[in-house]
Structure formats: structure tokens, C-alpha cells
Structure 1
């Protein structure tokens, strides 16, 4: 316990130093490689449409196949450009390697609809870290299924909107101390340096973005009334960066539900799409009704359509019923 306390203290000290350097304009002295950037074209009419699903990989069980079927129908109707996965892609313990048949059985053979044969942008969840993390990151999987794109943290630039995918699992303290599960930390250790560099890189990328909309995607919750609730480490370390850089949306999974929480003091919206398979019925904590726009403790997914002026969000259940819609426009929000 003493060793852990020392590590936590060191971690917080490094984050404090990062904050001081940022205020002084000296954070460029922290060496870090830029996040890899990918270009995503928009439609001829200037719009972009996509689906979001999370916590899904269960060989079709727990209604995963039914969710995939409805995703295919909605994806065709919206003519989606890509799909985002919010992590926990392969239960229970990730992949065992690049030749693990689970990749095909939990992914390629499930999401077979023509409309879902688009690029998938995936982040890692905590269950993915329990397996061979490097397997999910390997270009070999892209050769097995060209839709697959999974990196720890990266940027997708779609002209009117930029998506900042953030590797959130290494932020969570308990994963480094629990005895029940083991995690593949290759590429993450030393943890303090990894997180410090990641926070700096995300902050710098957000500051440099000229996109009309800024969207951050991670596996773990920041604000949630679900089973896991708020992720304290992200509230204290990542959230201030999002708020300081006028991020519009934070999209996550981790809690097995569909959820929309608005910020009481900023335009930032928290959208949870973790209903890709197993859901936790009735597992909800009280939240201020003025901020809680949706909480659905069942399976489903989310869609989004973005133009330069407007964003439209919809949540769907396992039968394809629309549970909740939300829209925002830049002119309206600018005048608020």
C-alpha cells in the first residue's frame, strides 16, 4: 500500500507540474509524439453521419446480434460514413493474439449488414486491456477485416468536425492494484510519463483545432448515473482540458446503458453508448433531472448527423425504436 500511495502521489505531482508548465507556456519542453491523424471525407452536401456502439463483443449473445441488425437498418437509412466503437470490444478478456478466432466470431460475423461495411474507429476498453492489447492494435487485423481501425489515441479529421480518441483505461488507478484481473500494460509503462504525454498531446491538439465541432471519444465515463458512475481520474485530469478547449461532446461506453447528461455550466454534453450487448437492468443512481436527458438501462446504440451548423443525436433500443433525440446548432449556442 505504501508503494501504491507513493506512485499515486508521484502521478498527481507530475500532473500538477504539467498544469504549471501549461500556464507558463513552457509545456513544449515535455517531449511527446503527436497523435496520429486520419482524414475522413464528408458527403457532397457537407454532412457527416455515423453510428456509435460500445461494450459489444459477446459472440452475438445478450442481444448483440439484434443490436447489430438494427444498426444495419439505421445505418442504411442515414447512409452512415463510419462507425465508432467506444471500447470493450471483446469480452471477457480481450483477444489472445492476432489469430484469435474471437475477432471474426465477435466482430466480422456479427456486423454483416451492407451499411456497416464502412470504417470502424475503435478505442480500447478495460476488458480489452485484459488480453493481448497489441493484437487489437496490429495492422494484421486490418488485413483480416479492412474495416478495423484501433489505436490507443488518435485523431479523425472530418473537416467540419474533429474526433479526438483518447485511451482512458491507463488513467484508472484501481486497474494497477486489483488482484482479480491482470492487464497488458505494454506501451503504457512508465504510467506517469504516458499519461502526462497523453494529456499534453490532447490539450495541444484541441487548442490547434479549427473545426466547427470538437468531439472527444473514450471508453470510460466522465459523467454517468450508471453502474460505474463518474470516473474520478478523468473528472480531475481530462475534463478540465475538455472544458478549457470548448469541446462540444464527450462520447463513451463502459456503463452498459444509453445515456445523455448535459453540463450545468458549459455546452459540453456527455453521451454514453455502452449498450452493444449485456446491459445492467435497474442499475442507476440518482441524477439531477435538469441535466439527465436520457437514461435507458437496456441494449441499443446511438446515431449522429453533423453539419457545420448543426448536430443531431438519436438513441435507439434493440428494436430500433427511437428513445431520445437531441440537437444543437452553433448560432443558438453562441448566443447563449
Structure 2
């Protein structure tokens, strides 16, 4: 065997090792301290990046007002950060025009934790994940899947777009799958790492964030791939909230199977689709087919959820209490 062939085999083996190692890497963990009294407050926004159009700027204005009142610690984006086709690169002016230029209120100059949506996958995914954008605007942080540990609550951010079969077959749009293939290995490792991280979590509250719906009465409805692959893991690990975007509405659905609540905050800009499917009234707690956002306040014993419309009016409130210490 020639030296060239041996070298080629070694390089191939190293490449395979690196692919396996990277795909099996555990979810990246970020620490974000709660307030001195142990409480936490944040805003949740989804489906927003339209350079201020479709009431994006008005929603941003109200977010700034509510964010100041609640003294928020950070903001969550549930994806579809840049319409219609993500970013073209790190130098795409849409990043400034749809993000930095819009969310200017002092209260919103906190860390933004962002996941990717299906529209983001139509552009240069690596651009949104790039540290170059963090250098351009320090509040931006977007990764495929990761964890934010606040001690009082753990937030598990999940890259949901690769779960959806139709994106791999439709011919109308091109998707950037460069960091996802081989798809099945990517999904299996993600689910394994999420399950492991949820089981290891000692936080009082467990909250999972993704772009796509699990339960929804909106335009897109339920995402069957998440119902079959992701939902069982959430139920098994006693997740308290699943927060998503994708449907351009505000929505709260309870679960008859567990205490798990499904919360949609996808009203960051274009909304008012006008197509709502009937849902079991025992589970459907709230639906608003319009623009707005959501706040979450957390203490050791209570979570408070509030939905606001584009004018800052309160549309819906929900709370859950837990005992400070578990009883056996």
C-alpha cells in the first residue's frame, strides 16, 4: 500500500471521527443569572424580521415599555428572524434593518436568545450563527440548539426545522442543510442530548423553546413530526412549558395528558391570517389572530404568563404554582 493511500485512509478516518464527534456533542450551556431575589422575567417574540413593516416597529415599541416595567432579564426569539429567506450573509443589511434598528428601547438591550425558523433556513444559516453578528450587536445570540441555565429555570432551545419532512421535498424553496446532514443522525443526537439534559436538570422549572408548533389551532396547525418525536420526551421529563412561534398568532393550549402548556408567540410582525381551526375548549385557553408578544415571570413557586397585543393591551393571563419543596 502506497504512502499516499495510507495518508488518504488516515484523513478519511479523521474526517469520520470529527463528524461523529461533532454530531454527538452535548448541547452548549449558557449561564444567565436571575435577579438578586431569585426571580426572573423575560419577553418572548417570534416571526418578526420584516424591516419594521407589518407592525413590527409597533410591537417593538410596546415590548420596550413592558420590558421596562418588568425589568426583564432577557428576550427569547422563537424563530423566523429574517423574512422571507433568512440572511444572505453576515454583511446582509437586513440584520441591522430588521433587528438592531428596530429593537432600540433601553429595556431591550439585554441578551436575545434565538432559535432558527424555517424561513431562516432558506438563507445562509451559518450567518445567523456567526460570532460576527454578535460583534455587530452584542445582544444577538443564535444557535441551533442550546441551554440557558438561570438556576430557577432551565430553558432548552431546540432546532425544530430539520424535523419537518416537507422542507426536504418541496421544490418552491431552497434550504441550507449544510450543518444538518446526515439528517437522521442529527435528529437522533439532538433528541438524545435533549433527553439527557432534561433528566439532569435540577431546575424548579423546565421550559422548552422551538420554532414549530406542537399543538396549534392556527394556520400551520400541529407539527406531526414533533408530536411523534419531541413531545414524548417533553412528557417523560415533566417539562412545564413548550414555547414556539411559526403560527403568526398568540395562543395558549393546555394538555389533557400532563401539566405541559403549549404557548405560541408568533405575532412579531405579519399576522391576521384569518384561518383558525376548532379546538377542544377544555384545552384551548386563548387564541388571538394578530400581532403581539408574551411575557414570562418566574419565581421558585410561581410562573406568570401574559400575552399583549400590538398596542400593549393585556389579552390573556395564566399562572401556575408549585410547592417550594417537594413532598414525599
What TM-score, normalized by structure 1, do the two folds share? 0.90
Report the CA distance between 1:280 and its aligned residue. 2.9
Choose from 95, 110, 115 the match for 1:118.
110
Report the CA distance between 1:205 and its aligned residue. 0.3
**1:299 matched to 2:320:** no
Report the CA distance between 1:265 and its aligned residue. 1.9
Counterpart-to-counterpart distance in 1, 2:143 and 2:312: 30
Counterpart for residue 181 of structure 1: 173
Could you give the per-residue CA deviations for residues 200-252 of structure 1, whole angstroms, max 9, x where no partner exists? Answer: 00000000000000000000000000000000000000000000000000000
Report the CA distance between 1:45 and its aligned residue. 1.1
SS of alignment partner, residue 323 of structure 2: helix
Counterpart for residue 252 of structure 2: 260
Counterpart for residue 310 of structure 2: 318
**1:236 matched to 2:259:** no
Counterpart for residue 42 of structure 1: 34
Report the CA distance between 1:308 and its aligned residue. 1.0
1:126-165, aligned counterparts within 5 Å? 126-165=118-157
Counterpart-to-counterpart distance in 2, 1:244 and 1:48: 25
Counterpart-to-counterpart distance in 1, 2:48 and 2:275: 18
Counterpart for residue 52 of structure 2: 60
Counterpart-to-counterpart distance in 2, 1:166 and 1:331: 28
Counterpart for residue 199 of structure 1: 191
Q: Decide whether the 8 Å contact of 2:219 with 2:273 is kept in 1.
A: no
1:15-30, aligned counterparts within 5 Å? none
Could you give the per-residue CA deviations for residues 269-328 of structure 1, whole angstroms, max 9, x where no partner exists? Answer: 000000000003421100011111110000000001001111000000000000000000
Counterpart-to-counterpart distance in 2, 1:239 and 1:97: 33
What TM-score, normalized by structure 2, do the two folds share? 0.92
Number of positions where the alignment pairs a residue of Structure 1 with one of Structure 2: 307
**1:88 matched to 2:80:** yes
Q: What is the Cα-based RMSD across aligned positions, in Å?
A: 1.6
Counterpart-to-counterpart distance in 2, 1:110 and 1:37: 28
Counterpart-to-counterpart distance in 1, 2:101 and 2:190: 34
SS of alignment partner, residue 69 of structure 2: helix
Counterpart-to-counterpart distance in 2, 1:331 and 1:259: 27
SS of alignment partner, residue 57 of structure 1: coil
Unaligned stretches of 5+ residues in structure 2: 1-22
Larger Rg: 2
Counterpart for residue 164 of structure 2: 172
Report the CA distance between 1:129 and its aligned residue. 0.1
Counterpart for residue 218 of structure 2: 226
Counterpart for residue 5 of structure 2: none
Counterpart for residue 18 of structure 1: none
Counterpart-to-counterpart distance in 1, 2:183 and 2:257: 32
Report the CA distance between 1:32 and its aligned residue. 1.6
Q: Which runs of 4+ in 1 moved over 4 A?
A: none
